[in-house]
Structure 1
Amino acid sequence: MRNNLKNSILSFSDRSLANLIQEHNYSFNYNDIIAGTVISKEEKGILVDIGTDIAGFLPIQEITIGQYGKAINLEINDKLEFIILHKCLHKNYLILSMAKIDNIRSWQRIKVMHQEDITTITKVLGYNRGGVLVTIESLCGFIPNSHLISKNIQKNNTLFELKCKILEIDRELNRLTLSEKCALLSEHINELTVGKYVYGTIEDIKPYGLLIKVKMIQGLLHKSEIPNIAGKELSNLFCRGENIKVKIIYVDLKKGRVSFSMS
Structure 2
Amino acid sequence: MEKPKQLSRFDRIKAKYKGPQININPEVENEVGFSYASFDEAVAATDYSFNRNDVVKGTVVQYDKGGCIVDIGAKASAFLPLQEAALIQEQGRNIESIIDIDAERSFEIISEEDENGQLMVSLRRIQYREAWEKIIAKQATDEAFDAECISVNRGGAIFLVEGLRAFLPGSHLTGRLPDDDLVGQTLPLKFLEVNQDENKLVVSNRRAVVETQMEDLSRGDVIEGVVKALKPYGAFVEVGGMSGLLHISQISMDRIVDIEKVLQPGQKIKCMIIDHDKVNGRIALSTKTLEPEPGDMMKDPARVYEQAEETARVYLEKQEAERKKREASAKDIVLGLGDALDDLSVGMEGEGSEGADASDNLDSLLS
Shared fold, TM over 0.5 = yes
Q: 1:56 maps to what in 2? A: 78
Q: 1:210 to 1:39 in 2, by over 3 A?
A: same
CA distance in structure 1 between the aligned counterparts of 2:235 and 2:98, rounded to whole angstroms:
54
| Conserved? CA contact 2:175–2:238, under 8 Å | no
Report how far residue 219 of structure 1 moved: 5.9
Query: Is 1:108 the counterpart of 2:108 in the alignment?
Result: no
Greater CA drift, 152-161 or 138-147 = 152-161
| Conserved? CA contact 2:211–2:278, under 8 Å | no
CA distance in structure 1 between the aligned counterparts of 2:119 and 2:102, rounded to whole angstroms:
19
Report how far residue 151 of structure 1 moved: 1.9
Structure 1: segments with no counterpart, 5+ residues: 1-9, 227-234
Q: 1:245 to 1:159 in 2, by over 3 A?
A: closer
Whichever residue aligns with residue 147 of structure 1, its letter is: H
Whichever residue aligns with residue 118 of structure 1, its letter is: E
| Conserved? CA contact 2:146–2:188, under 8 Å | yes
Matched pairs, number: 231
Q: 1:88 maps to what in 2? A: 113
CA distance in structure 2 between the aligned counterparts of 1:144 and 1:240, rounded to whole angstroms:
28
Q: 1:150 to 1:26 in 2, by over 3 A?
A: farther
Q: Which has the larger radius of gyration?
A: 2
Report how far residue 251 of structure 1 moved: 2.2
Indicate the SS of the match to 1:143: strand
Counterpart among 200, 203, 206 of residue 181 in structure 1 = 206
Indicate the SS of the match to 1:173: coil
| Conserved? CA contact 2:167–2:202, under 8 Å | yes
TM-score (norm 1): 0.69
Report how far residue 205 of structure 1 moved: 6.2
Tell me the percent identity.
24
Indicate the SS of the match to 2:278: strand
| Conserved? CA contact 1:204–1:212, under 8 Å | no
| Conserved? CA contact 2:236–2:243, under 8 Å | yes
| Conserved? CA contact 1:198–1:247, under 8 Å | no
Indicate the SS of the match to 1:168: strand
Q: 1:169 maps to what in 2? A: 194
1:222-241 pair list within 5 angstroms: none
Counterpart among 27, 34, 54 of residue 49 in structure 2 = 27
| Conserved? CA contact 1:199–1:246, under 8 Å | no
1:209-228 pair list within 5 angstroms: 214-218=239-243
| Conserved? CA contact 2:274–2:285, under 8 Å | yes
| Conserved? CA contact 2:158–2:167, under 8 Å | yes
Q: 1:26 to 1:45 in 2, by over 3 A?
A: same
CA distance in structure 1 between the aligned counterparts of 2:232 and 2:172, rounded to whole angstroms:
18
Task: Please give the per-residue CA displacement for 1:220-244, whole angstroms capped at 9, x wherever unaligned.
Answer: 799xxx9xxxxxxxx97x9978945
Report how far residue 260 of structure 1 moved: 5.8
Counterpart among 163, 176, 179 of residue 138 in structure 1 = 163
Report how far residue 79 of structure 1 moved: 0.7
Q: 1:67 to 1:88 in 2, by over 3 A?
A: closer
Task: Please give the per-residue CA displacement for 1:151-203, whole angstroms capped at 9, x wherever unaligned.
Answer: 2676266322222222222223222111111111132142146xx44457796
| Conserved? CA contact 2:237–2:245, under 8 Å | yes
Q: 1:251 maps to what in 2? A: 278
Q: 2:184 maps to what in 1? A: 159
* Pairwise CA RMSD: 4.2
Indicate the SS of the match to 1:38: strand
Query: Is 1:46 the counterpart of 2:68 in the alignment?
Result: yes
